[in-house]
Structure 1
Amino acid sequence: AKHAQSDLYDRGIKAIPFDLTRDQKAVLEEVRSDLAANHCMNRLLQGDVGSGKTIVAFLAALIPIENGFQVAIMAPTEILARQHYETLKPFAEALGLTIEILTGKDKKPHKTKIYKASAAGEIQVIIGTHALIQEDMLFKNLGFVVIDEQHRFGVAQRLRLTQKGKHVDCLSMTATPIPRTLMLASYGDLDTSQLREKPAGRLPIQTSAISSARLIEVIEGIKRTVAQGDKVYWVCPLVEESEKIDLAAAKERYEFMEQHMPGQVGLIHGKLKPKEKEAVMKLFTQGILTVLVATTVIEVGVDVHDATVMVIEHAERFGLAQLHQLRGRVGRGTKQGHCILLYEPESSEASLARLSIMRQTNDGFEIAEEDWKIRGGGELLGLKQSGLPNFKFVDWGLHQGLLREAVLEAEKLVTEDPLLDTTPKGKAAQNLLYLFDKEETVQYLKA
């Protein structure tokens, strides 16, 4: 087997200062089984924010590291990459591992040093952003890749990282799989694992949808929340046509909130320099500011334990995956978290359906399935991440059982006739692929 030894893994389990949940232990067994197999792992790990995905990925990575491979962990934002680095660095160093970080904003001398050390195999764990997929970034022996918040990366980007090694095992992580990923999972190309257990004492977030006509009522409620010592996020939507309009909307809301709650409101957005963002976040974390008005820059990687309320303005403009991510920013301590979805009364039926789903469930997989029904699953063999499903005769909602049977049949066929060219069934499958303009599938099989 590619990963024969696991002494380092056993030491890692003993080194962590808390007990793993039953789900975490079960997922680690699934990953270990994948790593022992003679094919590459392609597994999706789904677990809501704070369910312990990062530590599972790190413990799993210890097996390839011990067997001489390098590990890359890619996150969509600098904030999240740094958070992972700070979290994992003490564990890595306690086990005697070299761990480094690389982001697009790093200075050239640091980048050059990392490129050189990685190519020489001197770095065992590298955490980074899109900087990891640049041409200059080379590995001596990349064997294991973790892609965090995988719905934030395009298919081509994920592929570019795994292609930097030979026979690379890939663990993708997300709190809400996008529809295309769910479609692959239903086809059996992706194995899926779930972390459903939350850490002890954490309560499910209560979600309510409120018309924007009741804005002043919401602000009065926020004043009461803040008076109890809690903190509040207020998210303004992105207006795709113009970042200027988006920024103007956030500034306008900030000024309006500042009138109602003088000296307590901060503003954070994508145009701020990293140091300015850090300064505002510090004031918010320390409690000097109690309300943070933000664009979706806080969607991933912000961890403030006493933030209990998330207000999302124009919630009807957001996709389900984004709403679910934003909601996961609150209720991270032991206090009850609340999410308020402010919507325009004249919103479309599809928008209101999304808000209704958010009120009904906190479960990421359930949300993704509903998202799929609303948006469609994208082209399975293409790079398009969403759109109308390309099933010719199948309705996902009605035919899930039939799809599962088809997956088993397809797996059996590919095992018996890998290139679909030696058996009557294989040749018939090739003809069908040709009829449905999917002959590129045979090229994928050959690759």
Structure 2
Amino acid sequence: MRPSLLDPLFAPLTSLAGIGAKVATLIERVLPLDLGGREARVGDLLFVLPNSVIDRRSRPGIAGSAEGQIVTLDLRIDRHQPPPRGNRSAPYRIFAHDDTGEIALTFFHAHAAYLEKQLPEGADVVVSGRMEWFNGRPSMVHPDHMALAEEAENLPLVEPVYPLTAGLSPKVLRRAIGQSLERLPAMPEWLDPAFMRKHGFALFGEALARLHNPESPLDASPENAAWRRLAYDEFLAGQVSLALVRARVRRLSGRPLTGDGSIVARLRAALPYSLTGSQEAALAEILADLAESDRMLRLLQGDVGSGKTVVALLAMARAVEAGGQAALMAPTEILARQHLATIAPLAERAGLRTAILTGREKGRERSDTLAGLADGSIDIVVGTHALFQEAVAFQNLAFAVVDEQHRFGVHQRLAMTAKGDAPDMLVMTATPIPRTLVLTAFGDMDVSKLTEKPAGRQPVRTVTLPMERLPELVGRIRDAVSEGQKIYWICPLVEESEEAKLMSAQERYDALKPVFGDRLGLVHGRMKGTDKDAAMRAFKEGETRVLVATTVIEVGVDVPDATIMVIEHAERFGLAQLHQLRGRVGRGSKPSSCVLLYKEPLSETATRRLSVMRETEDGFVIAEEDLKLRGEGELLGTRQSGTPGFQVARIEFHADLLEAARDDARLILSRDPDLQSERGEALRLLLYLFGRDEAVRLLRAG
């Protein structure tokens, strides 16, 4: 169903001249997108944009050229000096001059016949490359470009530099990108003419041509109008496809979920504390959404320990009051069990039946749970991806809660949706997401925020310490253990790798064992689930007092009386992750602290990260800083998990265009929901260009 106009761009890379299967595989490595298992296409090359340029416009003459400078010289060739016979290691030299002095052009393992043809004696030539000076004598080793003076207008004076991978030469990649540009058909315009004039945007094809064939370094800058035009196109494709998904999801219109309030009241009575103001506000927004006949799609953002699970539980109780079932899905088994531990005792006191379903439940236990979901006797189920599987059928799934959404893609969200009759959906995250990213990843959601910490939570004192002071730290931890405190000790890797001389969790455990003996525990990703649970239980119950762990404990692990968090090699963690880890302490009534152990020398970014951690505990401030420090692709973990990894757009430069794209998408679809108009047809091409084929399929499925 794809318009035939786009066929040249959807041909495989191997259809380009000079690109065989081997080179195509190398090119796939530099493409700015996750191919998701399909083969690379000609059109993918359009968006491999230059990360810098080489400026060859400087022509200072031989004498005026500085060491290491890239220059273009107008020379006359004087003589060739081949290496002596039999000595292949000596270079081939060509001597040339201009008005200011003399230079040697130097070639190793050269082909004499080729050089005699390219640079004949007595000819006027133009060469470009990096200048080197030996003992006051200028030389240029293997010039990048050489041409006879009369053919010199073909020399690229401003040359784009593309990302490369081992084995892929810049020439081959440039030639392939050039061919893909030649195949780009003339496209109808999908942007509003007045908007284009306001922003100084060129046509789509012209903008691409300017970026790939820059006439000045500014042409290849992300802040230039050409790049901004393409970033806007990408945002618009994303926002139109999110809006289509949302319209589709809404069209599976929900049903009002209202109850008599009895179960919610029993739950509130069972809570050992009262809700904070922002918990009450978020719950009110969620219950108001549930009462509407439109489906709810809401994002609940709350910092670590702000009490999201309780809000979700009260909302699930409302769904049960209305005669439905509710499901809570978490990204890991540890986290799913953690949620169950919070929810089950409260739910039981309110007369609700709960169950868990992960990859670990087997046999009788599993079949009982599946039967209970199918006959409706289980009200609330907590689980991992296992809840998506074919075998899982609900009697009446009315409400689904997804925790740590960024670990699940939009597709999984839709798969969960398919399990019920268009269940309402609440997505929770403890990673505070800056507004710009909420728009890109969740343009299709309303947002509630929990901004207060529950009563009695203590601030966490954060200190930074160089590795040299480790013995002193171990002494302090020993004192803390004798006072009955509990300590997390986080290490970055499981085992020592050759490249990075880091302490692994296993090695740190071995090093601390003589000091702490039986009071020391260990948890890391390679352990069996049962062993992990046993280690966590021993720590929770106080059998062990110091838990050495990798980042498996990053999200959701709840040991209220843990008071000290040591993070080793803190300089290797991102801000969001440091913040998540720190949130594991300070959950009880005792004062807590977080020690960031670092190894000198620190990079500028690492220094900034550690100082942000010392200055603030506000997750939203930290998220905005994180975005500035490392760009959007990293912020939500990996690029592949349905996160907004962009091909062209760079959030740090183009965030201002995002709101405009969202408003534009809403306006277009309110006027032309099936994209049937002339502009709508053009927008369909845009969706295909940026790989949003599923959105076009939704249009057809209607």
Question: Could you state the TM-score of these two structures normalised by the residue count of structure 1?
Answer: 0.85
> What is the aligned counterpart of 2:408 among 153, 159, 162?
153
- The separation in 2 between residues aligned to 1:166 and 1:246, in whole angstroms, is 53
Asked if structure 2 preserves the Cα contact closer than 8 Å seen for 1:207 and 1:341, the reply is yes
- The separation in 2 between residues aligned to 1:307 and 1:153, in whole angstroms, is 30
> What is the aligned counterpart of 2:564 among 302, 305, 309?
309
The yes-or-no answer on 1:5 pairing with 2:258 is yes
Asked if structure 2 preserves the Cα contact closer than 8 Å seen for 1:187 and 1:404, the reply is no
**Higher RCO structure (Cα 8 Å, ≥6 apart):** 1
Stretch of structure 1 that moved more, 163-172 or 82-91: 82-91
> What is the aligned counterpart of 1:126 among 381, 389, 393?
381
RMSD: 3.5
Q: What SS does structure 1 have at the residue aligned with 2:437?
A: helix
Asked if structure 2 preserves the Cα contact closer than 8 Å seen for 1:179 and 1:371, the reply is no
Change (3 A) 1:82 1:288: closer
Asked if structure 2 preserves the Cα contact closer than 8 Å seen for 1:377 and 1:390, the reply is no
Partner of residue 341, structure 1 = 596
Number of equivalent positions: 442
> What is the aligned counterpart of 1:195 among 440, 443, 450?
450
Residue 198 of structure 1, CA deviation: 0.9
Stretch of structure 1 that moved more, 103-112 or 265-274: 265-274
Asked if structure 2 preserves the Cα contact closer than 8 Å seen for 1:209 and 1:343, the reply is yes
Residue 5 of structure 1, CA deviation: 2.2
Residue 127 of structure 1, CA deviation: 1.0
The yes-or-no answer on 1:230 pairing with 2:472 is no
Partner of residue 251, structure 1 = 506
Partner of residue 92, structure 1 = 347
Partner of residue 366, structure 2 = 111
- The separation in 1 between residues aligned to 2:658 and 2:468, in whole angstroms, is 45
Residue 360 of structure 1, CA deviation: 3.3
Partner of residue 41, structure 1 = 296
Change (3 A) 1:384 1:109: closer
- The separation in 1 between residues aligned to 2:501 and 2:521, in whole angstroms, is 17
- The separation in 1 between residues aligned to 2:481 and 2:606, in whole angstroms, is 30
Residue 235 of structure 1, CA deviation: 0.9
Q: Any idea what the Cα deviations from partners look like across 1:306-338, whole Å, max 9, x if unmatched?
A: 211111112233333332221111111122222
Q: What SS does structure 1 have at the residue aligned with 2:540?
A: helix
Change (3 A) 1:240 1:184: farther
Identical pairs, percent: 51
Residue 378 of structure 1, CA deviation: 4.5
Change (3 A) 1:118 1:436: closer
Asked if structure 2 preserves the Cα contact closer than 8 Å seen for 1:376 and 1:387, the reply is no
Residue 409 of structure 1, CA deviation: 4.0
- The separation in 1 between residues aligned to 2:373 and 2:501, in whole angstroms, is 39
In structure 1, stretches of 5+ residues that fail to align are none
Decide which structure has the larger Cα Rg and report it: 2
Partner of residue 144, structure 1 = 399
Partner of residue 287, structure 2 = 32
- The separation in 1 between residues aligned to 2:430 and 2:589, in whole angstroms, is 20
Change (3 A) 1:374 1:162: farther
Change (3 A) 1:62 1:416: farther
| Counterpart amino acid of residue 265 in structure 2 | R
In structure 2, stretches of 5+ residues that fail to align are 1-253
Residue 3 of structure 1, CA deviation: 1.9
Question: Could you state the TM-score of these two structures normalised by the residue count of structure 2?
Answer: 0.56
Residue 227 of structure 1, CA deviation: 4.0
Asked if structure 1 preserves the Cα contact closer than 8 Å seen for 2:433 and 2:620, the reply is no
The yes-or-no answer on 1:52 pairing with 2:307 is yes
- The separation in 2 between residues aligned to 1:434 and 1:151, in whole angstroms, is 24
Stretch of structure 1 that moved more, 145-154 or 46-55: 145-154
Stretch of structure 1 that moved more, 48-57 or 83-92: 83-92
Q: What SS does structure 2 have at the residue aligned with 1:377?
A: helix
> What is the aligned counterpart of 1:71 among 310, 313, 326?
326
Matches within 5 A, 1:368-447: 368-378=623-633, 383-385=640-642, 389-390=646-647, 392=649, 396-397=651-652, 400=655, 403-422=658-677, 426=680, 429-430=683-684, 433=687, 438=692, 441-444=695-698
